Amino acid sequence: MATPENKLAFDGGWQYSPAPESTDHVKIKKRYDLFIGGDFVRPAKGKYFDTINPANEEKLSRVALASDEDVDRAVKAARQAYSGWSRMKAAERGKYIYRIARILQERSREFAAIESLDGGKPIRESRDVDVPLAAAHFFYYAGWADKLEYAFPGRKVKPLGVAGQIIPWNFPLLMAAWKIAPALACGNTVVIKPAETTPLTAMKLAEVIADAGLPPGVVNIVTGAGETGAAIVNHPGVDKIAFTGSTSVGRIIQKALAGTNKKYTLELGGKAANIIFADAAIDQAVEGIVNGIFFNQGHVCCAGSRLFVQE
């Protein structure tokens, strides 16, 4: 909108501030290193890969390719940080998570544009859904940090240790928030791998985490493809695996963890069924079905691609 400094020009035309969809304010580095131990560090083997804008196939940046050695460094950093983070007063942990939420909220316009550039998501969805919900998620778990004893009355609540997390490309920033925020609130430390096709908002989130003053090693972000994810799954220093992705990869992870002491959660597939009973409000049901299968181009974990309708 026009500002006092941008009053009606003498030539009769208006001057406007950049539109919400503008990318003029976005700062994308030419190269992103790994985020380990609170610092951005070069990959051990010096390898990088391109991340592109799927709308025009132009290169946005070069991103570090993490090897087994890099994953080992990240896990060791998370293990070293675990002692102090898990013993920290829960209310203090909550303050750090709250800071992440506030900074993410303040930089929401930048995050929304980068999310759309890197993943091809319409700006309306990035701006109005993904980024606000990611910030809200950190806000939510900041509040839970010192209330876990009330959630499980009569039970002793304690952190698990180092959480290895692997997320997909359909909601890159939001998936990172879903994985990181509850782990931190419960006193765990994190090694997370974003999808190799959409790593940029995770790397920008690393900047936010650094700006929030989170103790070094509490959150470590390593980028790469399937081999990097496998290194996280198979690392003996990881206590819990959280994976969201395909059913086929989920089966591989389940087999790899069988017989170990590692805990795991797997969110797989996305072929949910809608059940329509005879007394359903049909207009609302149809609207919900259409939204469920076409939202985010159908790339959602609860895409309602099947209908069970009462005769």
Give the Cα separation of 267 and 258 in Å (integer).
17
Give the Cα separation of 74 and 222 in Å (integer).
8
Q: Quick one: tokens of 72?
A: 């080992």
Element (H, E) at 62: strand 58-64
Residue 192 β-bridge partners: 165, 221
Catalytic hit among 21, 196, 207, 301: 301
DSSP letters for 24-52: TT----SEE-EEETTEEE--TT--EEEEE
Q: Using N-to-C axis directions, what is the helix angle for 172-185 and 131-144, rounded to 10°?
A: 0
Residue type, 92: E
Residue type, 246: S
Catalytic hit among 110, 227, 267, 287: 267
> Which residue's entry shows tokens 């898990």?
86
User: Comparing C-alpha atoms, which of 188, 100, 81 is closest to residue 140?
Assistant: 100
User: Comparing C-alpha atoms, which of 130, 238, 121 is closest to residue 189?
Assistant: 238
Let me know how long the chain is. 311
Give the Cα separation of 66 and 63 in Å (integer).
9
The question of whether 301 is a catalytic residue gets the answer yes
Q: Quick one: tokens of 295?
A: 């939202």
Give the Cα separation of 178 and 43 in Å (integer).
26
What amino acid positions are annotated as catalytic residues? Answer: 267, 301
